[in-house]
Amino acid sequence: MSSFRLTVVRHGETEDNKRKVLQGQMDTPLSSVGEQQARMLAQRICMEGFSHVFSSDLRRASQTANTLLLNLPPGGPSLIEDVRLRERCFGELEGKEQWQLQKAARKAKQQLPAFTPTGGETVAQVQHRATEFFAELCSTIFHKVGAKQKQTTSEKEGQFDVSPRMDSAGGDDKSDVADTNVPLADDHNHVLLVAHGGLIRTMIELFASKFGCDLNSHLGGSRLHGCPNTGVSRFTVIRSEKSGKLSVFCNSLFTTDHLQEEATTLH
């Protein structure tokens, strides 16, 4: 099998987060609290070796990512900003308080998140760019792993199946996938991704619906909720060498231990 680790982080707090304002694709910076949250997370992950670092190009995400990079060992990767990791656009409702989105949806007799404000993105559009980004990421990583392992010429380098999964994680090819703590085939590939609450939720829903990612042990039977600021989720992405299919395992979801430890220290 081939695999890589994926660590997904939501940006630090902004003033609009605190005021419960719909930011969408507004280019808001971190607040002083958000900057401190990013520094606290950086102290927690400073010794982790990341091979790739991606973030949304919006300031609140890129500021968070740059703070993390500054605390990583020298000689590491550079930040790659990608517009596909932006938050969902809420059109004319950006800059408005969140309750106004709920009011507009009720007026239109539609449910959230399916309701799309004028000038905003549909759920399907956000899903498309999240899927496109993940497919490109996997292609890049697994092409690199394939070259390193000197795969035979009969294999299609950089190609893998990203079609919806019709079976449980790993399918019938159980020899390639053991459990959520399956060891990495290449420990040098660890991707850090810094994005937004809505985009992160969309990506995790993609993992669950198409790549067999079981979230039940992390959700305790409840529905997938929003990720807190600087919440950390960790995944292992595996490609079966026999079938070429992808499986995604969730190792942790929306953890904020780095913030809790600081609060304990202050008391």
Strand partners, 92: none
Q: Partners of 232 in the beta sheet?
A: 9, 255
16 touches 41 (CB < 8 A): no
Place of tokens 């994680």: 169
Neighbours of 266 (CB within 10 A): 6
Q: Choose the catalytic residue: 13, 52, 87, 258.
A: 87
C-alpha dihedral sign at 163, 166, 170, 173: negative
Would you call 267 a catalytic residue per the annotation?
A: no
Active-site residue 11, yes or no? yes
Residue 101 phi, psi (nearest 5): -65, -45
Neighbours of 144 (CB within 10 A): 18
User: Residue 10 corresponds to which tokens in the numbers above?
Assistant: 């939501």
Distance of alpha carbon 247 from alpha carbon 217, whole angstroms = 17
Is-contact 189 51, C-beta < 8 A? yes
* Set 11, 190, 218, 258: catalytic member: 11
Name the residues annotated as catalytic.
Answer: 11, 87
